[in-house]
Structure 1
Amino acid sequence: MTEELVFYTNPMSRGRIARWMLEEIGQPYRTEYLTFGETMKAPKYLAVNPMGKVPAIRHGDTIVTECAAICAYLAETFPEKALAPRPEERARYYRWMFFAAGPLESAVTMKTLGFEIPKERLRMAGCGGFNDVMDTLEKAVSASTYIAGERFTAADVYVGSHIGWGIGFGGIERRQAFLDYVGRISQREAYKRANALDDEAVKTMQAA
């Protein structure tokens, strides 16, 4: 596909997840950096994402927002990179991709913000209790080398980013299974390139 690929991001955001995925697929892309509360909320970008949040990508006339959706879209749009699930991997791939987008992110966000769900109301919360989420995640990353099996997929980009980010900011416990999993996936060259690009972008934006 020859359509231009544009990446809207801020290097201090979840855009780092999409950046890693873009580096994994290895296709040329143009980056547009946005600032919080300023260009991110300007009419030009709101036409891309009415939420005024990053990341987002534009692929030709197609716009995709939400990190999990971006990872899944890129994996399926560029199948030659073998990052989409094989038939036998689909159940685990989608299960843990959506687990990270739903229960995991909700539980970690509430913990980070200091919210605690009363025990008598846990049934009302889709994520359940924080410890339940951590225990479930630990079993998931311990079951195989990668989240969907013995092969790296786009689900590892998404789930792994959440775990790495959570450990770094204290929202996820430093369990050995998490550290081992993040250690495996962070050895990928695309991960290193993505981090280097975003770290350099942080310096440039701070100096501006």
Structure 2
Amino acid sequence: MIRIFSAGILIAAFFVSCEASVEELEVKDETLKSSAENFERISLWTNEIEPNLLKEKLLAVKNISSKTVLSPASVALASIDLKAVFPSLKDSFSLDVSSMDKDALKTLDSFFYSFEKNGNCEKYFETENLYSLVIFLHDFAKMKANAFSHVSGEPFFYDGIYQCPVRIFLKANDEKNSSVDVYAYLKKIEQEWKIFQLEIFSWKKN
């Protein structure tokens, strides 16, 4: 009889404890709810400046392909002003000609295209310095080299004059040389860019 009585007391105490915990949780929940409502009531809210901004579809972002799925990371990276990367010829010069005047580069390329096709190169050269062209053609003929293409490199600009490295690639059947490196010097004469000097500074042998 005593054991049954003791068990009854324990069970009653357990239920009383549970009931107290539930009431305590309800009080806490009510307190949080009241705090939230009070915060909302005393806070000053402003209207959205651009309410549709997050709903609109971004059609394009600079430096990101329209096919790319946009993300915060990709947009952040696209905003960084990255410098273009240009290739370089091994043990030689960079092929970055972005700093060169477009008309000057056009004159340079036109000259070498004409040279490769045995065309009229004189029109791209300053008349008073045609002797430099004659010497260049003589030296090239002396090497018995046959040009077929070229690439221009990063120029050095000072006092209105460009010094631009150019690599001339030779035909595959050339047994002695594979390429020739030349400095081409250009300046503006009566609003037109002209080459006034050519200097062979290196050649690669097979």
- TM-score using structure 2 length: 0.21
Larger RCO, structures 1/2 (Cα 8 Å, 6+ apart): 1
Q: TM-score, normalised by structure 1?
A: 0.21
Q: Greater strand share, 1 or 2?
A: 2
- Higher helix fraction (1 or 2): 1
